[in-house]
């Protein structure tokens, strides 16, 4: 679920991008993609997350400047066609905050959105929206005004409708009930590491596994964790062969035994023992890496990757790219 998570990271990435020679950027932009790409026009430069809504045949995307949009995909879409983004949500009371990780809660027909003050780190929240009317069902602030800095990054939902939101600043997980009531905070010493640079961006992408536990990635270190929730939360590091998944951002289950960790490169991790251990079995680095891969989703049995930055003016052309993994 995924994220451009703090002002330090924002400016570091902008610096790195600005340092890339213009000729290289032009070459990357004009290269023929090796996999299928959905291009769409938008009014915004940055789109943090994209999730495929199979029922309505559309991608839902989160706006870094606050809001949610959709990209409808026709049945007979040609890769040469450029689709259009249509805004669905723009909350005036959340102006100045970014919409980051999103999750489609299909049983309850709602979209869950992690919301954060990316540059000041003084506001974190989770919101739920009805996916038919797009009315806001609830907005729950996760940090109190006097709390330490925080950054709500990604969100997952369990079978009962409880939401789990990662705090990428303090490496903790908030739990919120099905109706938006705050329940608890999950903390663990395993979530933090020695050295400030290893905690610059902490817990990031999160998913709820159908067997009843959470999987989460620590962005800087690339460590994966399995978290069993309940009266006693149990946190276990997942031993990775071929890992770690350093700079892992949003994550998505491709199947109960395969996890996609979006990043540069994006990794496919497989487990045969209920996520006690895992093995990196594939990697993908497409031609759009300069746009920054931030999230993954599954459409029609294929993995697609969201890229943060759009290119062009006045309309910005964004890319959602199919990932084909190689060992």
Q: Do strands 37-42 and 47-53 pair parallel, antiparallel, or not at all (unpaired)?
A: unpaired
Mean confidence (pLDDT) of the chain? 91
- Check whether 141 has a pLDDT greater than 50: yes
Question: What local confidence, expressed as pLDDT, does residue 4 receive?
Answer: 44
- 1 close to 249: Cβ distance less than 8 angstroms: yes
How far apart, in Å, are the Cα atoms of 195 and each of 118, 211, 295? Answer: 22, 34, 27
- Check whether 14 has a pLDDT greater than 60: no
Question: What local confidence, expressed as pLDDT, does residue 19 receive?
Answer: 52
pLDDT tens track for 237-255: 999 999 899 999 999 999 9
CA dihedral 88, 209, 279, 296 (to 10 degrees): 0
Predicted TM-score (pTM) of the model is 0.91
pLDDT tens track for 85-135: 999 999 999 999 999 999 999 999 999 999 999 999 999 999 999 999 999
The residue among 146 and 297 whose pLDDT is bigger is 297
pLDDT tens track for 37-73: 999 999 999 999 999 999 999 999 999 999 999 999 9
Q: pLDDT grade, residue 290 (50/70/90)? A: confident
CA dihedral 221, 214, 111, 160 (to 10 degrees): -160
Question: What local confidence, expressed as pLDDT, does residue 25 receive?
Answer: 65
Question: What local confidence, expressed as pLDDT, does residue 325 receive?
Answer: 97
Instruction: Give the separation between CA 164 and CA 114, rounded to whole angstroms.
Output: 10
Question: What local confidence, expressed as pLDDT, does residue 189 receive?
Answer: 93
Question: What local confidence, expressed as pLDDT, does residue 182 receive?
Answer: 97
**If you average pLDDT over residues 256-272, what whole number do you get?**
97
Q: Do strands 277-284 and 234-241 pair parallel, antiparallel, or not at all (unpaired)?
A: parallel
224 bridge partner residues:
217, 238
270 bridge partner residues:
258, 279
CB-based contacts of 167: which residues, under 8 Å, 6+ apart?
Answer: 124, 142, 150, 151, 152, 153, 173, 174, 202, 203
- Check whether 32 has a pLDDT greater than 90: no
- 78 close to 37: Cβ distance less than 8 angstroms: no
Question: What local confidence, expressed as pLDDT, does residue 218 receive?
Answer: 97
What proportion of the chain, given as a percentage, has pLDDT over 90?
78
Question: What local confidence, expressed as pLDDT, does residue 26 receive?
Answer: 66
Question: What local confidence, expressed as pLDDT, does residue 2 receive?
Answer: 43
- Check whether 18 has a pLDDT greater than 70: no
């Amino acid at each position: 679920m995924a994220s451009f998570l703090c002002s330090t990271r924002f400016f570091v990435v902008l610096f790195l991008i600005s340092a890339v020679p213009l000729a290289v950027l032009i070459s990357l932009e004009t290269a023929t993609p090796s996999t299928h790409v959905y291009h769409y026009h938008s009014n915004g430069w940055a789109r943090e997350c994209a999730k495929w809504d199979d029922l309505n045949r559309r991608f839902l995307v989160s706006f870094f400047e606050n809001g949610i949009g959709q990209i409808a995909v026709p049945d007979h879409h040609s890769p040469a066609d450029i689709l259009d983004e249509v805004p669905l949500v723009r909350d005036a009371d959340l102006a100045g905050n970014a919409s980051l990780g999103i999750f489609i809660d299909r049983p309850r027909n709602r979209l869950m959105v992690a919301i954060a003050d990316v540059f000041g780190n003084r506001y974190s929240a989770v919101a739920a929206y009805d996916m038919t009317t797009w009315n806001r069902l609830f907005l729950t602030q996760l940090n109190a005004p006097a709390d330490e800095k925080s950054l709500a990054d990604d969100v997952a939902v369990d079978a009962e409708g409880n939401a789990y939101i990662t705090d990428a600043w303090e490496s903790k997980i908030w739990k919120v009930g099905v109706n938006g009531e705050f329940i608890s905070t999950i903390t663990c010493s395993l979530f933090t590491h020695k050295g400030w640079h290893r905690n610059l961006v902490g817990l990031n992408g999160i998913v709820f596994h159908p067997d009843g536990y959470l999987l989460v990635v620590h962005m800087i270190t690339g460590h994966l964790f399995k978290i069993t929730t309940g009266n006693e939360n149990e946190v276990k590091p997942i031993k990775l062969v071929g890992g770690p998944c350093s700079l892992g951002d949003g994550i998505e289950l491709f199947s109960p035994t395969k996890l996609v960790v979006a990043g540069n490169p994006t990794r496919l991790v497989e487990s045969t023992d209920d996520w006690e251990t895992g093995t990196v079995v594939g990697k993908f680095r497409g031609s759009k890496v300069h746009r920054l891969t931030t999230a993954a989703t599954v459409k029609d049995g294929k993995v697609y990757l969201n890229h943060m930055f759009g290119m062009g003016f006045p309309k910005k052309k964004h890319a959602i790219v199919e990932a084909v993994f190689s060992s």
